[in-house]
Structure 1
Amino acid sequence: MANIREIARLAGVSVSTVSRVLNHHPYVSPDKREAVLKTIRELDYSPNINAVHLSRGKTNMVGIVLPTINHPYFSELLEGIAEEAMKHNIQLVLFQTGYHQEKEFEALEQLRGHLIDGVIFASRAIPFDSLLKYKSAGPMVLCEDSDQDDFPSISIKHVAAFNLGLEYLISKGHKRIAICLGRLEGTNSQKRQKAYEEKMKMIGQKVQEEWILGKCLMIQDGKSVVNRFLQMKEKPTAFLVGNDQVAAGIFTESVKQGLAVPEDVAILSFDNHPISEIMGITTIEIPTKQLGSYAFNSFIKRSSDSTYAEKIALPFTLIQRQSV
């Protein structure tokens, strides 16, 4: 198999000239560059990518850890990351985890083994203490409303956003409010739940345990929410839902069960994806694609400055429609 020494001999140039051509350095005369490229074509030569990465000390690849790509929030977040990565000629390696910790650790081990240059966590299941053990392995970015100072993080202020939703429902006459979240143990969900419990205490409304619903991520989960709602002895008059997909499922199943929205049950959600506009669901808009862009650029900054750990909070907006 051809190597750069043979290319240099046949092209009549030095090994360093061949190396500069392969690495796209500008300081090579046109005739020598053409001689090297002609020899490469004749030998059908392709560089050993692992050797190239080893010599450069980087792979130009970054890992993206997310539970699923089959969800508009994560796909839009990924789109924002991908657009920025393309500008920097960096490839993305997806780790679709389903919130299984062992899959998340695979990404961290690849970072430690220098198989990728960094990791962006769109969402995570592994404890924060476990992340700290990999802090020296390479750049990491968290897409969560984080109180730590070890890694860059990008999110909205979930407590403020959830309070905005609660206050809007209360202003419309609702006190018996249920919440639908994804993983109740997740960082963002815990902040939302705490904000909810404090707001209910503030207005003198006793919180029913069955009004706090977890594992609500996909549109089909909305059907389960309505079935549980129909079995409740003390029913809430409104749902504050963690994302538009679940809200759409609640809306559709409510109508199917003969319930009127918002007369029998009001619905307010998060994201402002197209489905919420089509169905007239009141929602709090999150700039998800922008969040992905900021996450990637935070990775770039962390790559050049290992102390960079800025917490970026993006804005959110209440979009009033007909479901409240």
Structure 2
Amino acid sequence: MTNIRDIARLSGYSVATVSRVLNHRKYVSDAVRQRIESIIRELDYAPNDVARDLSRGKTMKIGVVLPVFVHPYYTVLTQSITQAAFAQGYQVSLLPSSYKPTLERRFLEQFKRQAFDGIIFTSHEMPLKALAAYQEFGPVVVCEDPGQLQIAAAFTDRQPSNEAAFTWIKQRGFKRVALMIPRAPRLSATARAIVAAYTTVFGQPPDPKLIWVGSMSNEDGQRAGTFLAKLKPDFIFTNSDDIAAGVMQSYLAQGLEPPVMMGQENQLTGRLMGMSTIDHHLEQVGQAAVDLATGAKSGRIKIASEFIARE
């Protein structure tokens, strides 16, 4: 089997020079590069990617753990991570977890065995402390505020925009405000932030009867609309513009006038509906997460979110 030493011997150049050509490095003249490439073509040589990764100590791969594909938050965040990784020459392995700790630990063990140079958790079920324990094997990045725990993090600062949104709602006299959240607050940092902001602005916790748990897709929005219509809220705070559109579809299908709604992520549906929203700037979060996972940056990177009011 042809190897790099055969190419060096036939071309008359050193193994180091051949390696620079194979890895598209600088400091090789055009004449030398052409000579070596001609030998490579003659021998029909294909470099061993695994051996090359081992030799340079990198896989040029990033693992991205995500619980679901359907929620717009994960769709946009994963797309931005992929674009940022490709721009830096990295491949991305999507690792669906379905919020199962056994799968999350399996992905971490793969990371421990150097399957990835870094691993990004867009969300997780395992405790943050358990994720942080794997940092000795490389960058472990989370997409939430880790508080006092020392772990790399890229996330949006949700509290100011959430409070601005609920202040806007309160100032307009809405009182029966329904909340749509992805998971129960004890499981979701996003849900806790929403409930905390509501409580701060209105001076009391939200009515549990007006909370819909399990908002991940437009279809979930339609189901929520059927449920919420019976409770007659005068405002619905949703966790995505697309999900809000599903709620509206449900109301209209029932022959009912939809209440005023607010979405999140500043999606096309929200702009077309003229609906207020919160933009968490996930493109910037994705870029920051990749910078942390590749070691280009360290620590934690907080991105400011933005409340967008549309009257």
Confirm or deny a common fold (TM above 0.5). yes
Q: 1:153: Cα distance to partner?
A: 2.2
| 1:93-112 pair list within 5 angstroms | 93-112=93-112
* Aligned equivalents of 1:317, 1:160: Cα separation in 2: 9
* Aligned equivalents of 1:304, 1:280: Cα separation in 2: 39
In the superposition, relative to structure 1, how do residues 117 and 161 fare at CA in structure 2: closer, same or farther (>3 Å)?
A: same
Q: 1:150: Cα distance to partner?
A: 1.5
Contact 2:164 2:307 in 1 (8 A): no
In the superposition, relative to structure 1, how do residues 16 and 282 fare at CA in structure 2: closer, same or farther (>3 Å)?
A: closer
Matched to 2:214, the amino acid is: K
Contact 1:80 1:292 in 2 (8 A): yes
Q: 1:182: Cα distance to partner?
A: 0.4
Match of 2:292 in 1: 298
Q: Paired residues, what number? A: 309
2:152 counterpart of 1:152: yes
Match of 1:227 in 2: 226
How high is the TM-score relative to the length of structure 2?
Answer: 0.91
Match of 2:54 in 1: 54
Q: 1:206: Cα distance to partner?
A: 6.8
Q: 1:304: Cα distance to partner?
A: 5.3
2:196 counterpart of 1:194: yes
In the superposition, relative to structure 1, how do residues 25 and 289 fare at CA in structure 2: closer, same or farther (>3 Å)?
A: closer
Contact 2:70 2:216 in 1 (8 A): no
Match of 1:217 in 2: 216
After superposition, the CA RMSD in angstroms is 2.1
* Aligned equivalents of 1:29, 1:173: Cα separation in 2: 73
Match of 1:320 in 2: 310
Match of 2:238 in 1: 241
In the superposition, relative to structure 1, how do residues 30 and 206 fare at CA in structure 2: closer, same or farther (>3 Å)?
A: closer
Matched to 2:13, the amino acid is: V
Match of 1:280 in 2: 274
2:140 counterpart of 1:140: yes
| 1:115-126 pair list within 5 angstroms | 115-126=115-126
* Aligned equivalents of 1:38, 1:250: Cα separation in 2: 63
In the superposition, relative to structure 1, how do residues 216 and 106 fare at CA in structure 2: closer, same or farther (>3 Å)?
A: same
| 1:6-21 pair list within 5 angstroms | 6-21=6-21
* Aligned equivalents of 1:17, 1:166: Cα separation in 2: 63
* Aligned equivalents of 1:7, 1:70: Cα separation in 2: 49
Matched to 2:246, the amino acid is: G
> Match of 2:110, SS?
helix
Matched to 1:269, the amino acid is: G
Matched to 1:249, the amino acid is: G
In the superposition, relative to structure 1, how do residues 27 and 226 fare at CA in structure 2: closer, same or farther (>3 Å)?
A: closer
Contact 2:198 2:205 in 1 (8 A): no
Identity of aligned residues (%): 32
Matched to 2:234, the amino acid is: T
Contact 2:178 2:236 in 1 (8 A): yes
In the superposition, relative to structure 1, how do residues 45 and 279 fare at CA in structure 2: closer, same or farther (>3 Å)?
A: same
Q: 1:259 aligns with which of 244, 256, 259?
A: 256
> Which moved further from structure 2: 13-22 or 273-282?
13-22
* Aligned equivalents of 1:10, 1:173: Cα separation in 2: 82
Q: 2:247 aligns with which of 246, 250, 264?
A: 250
How high is the TM-score relative to the length of structure 1?
Answer: 0.87
* Aligned equivalents of 2:149, 2:107: Cα separation in 1: 22
Match of 2:92 in 1: 92
Q: 1:270: Cα distance to partner?
A: 1.2
Q: 1:242: Cα distance to partner?
A: 1.4
Contact 2:165 2:307 in 1 (8 A): no
Q: 1:62: Cα distance to partner?
A: 0.8
* Aligned equivalents of 1:208, 1:310: Cα separation in 2: 34
**1:72-96 CA distance string (max 9 Å, x none):** 3322222322332232111111112
> Match of 2:218, SS?
coil
> Which moved further from structure 2: 239-248 or 282-291?
282-291
Contact 1:156 1:316 in 2 (8 A): no
* Aligned equivalents of 1:207, 1:74: Cα separation in 2: 26
* Aligned equivalents of 1:149, 1:72: Cα separation in 2: 28
Matched to 1:191, the amino acid is: A
Contact 1:285 1:319 in 2 (8 A): no
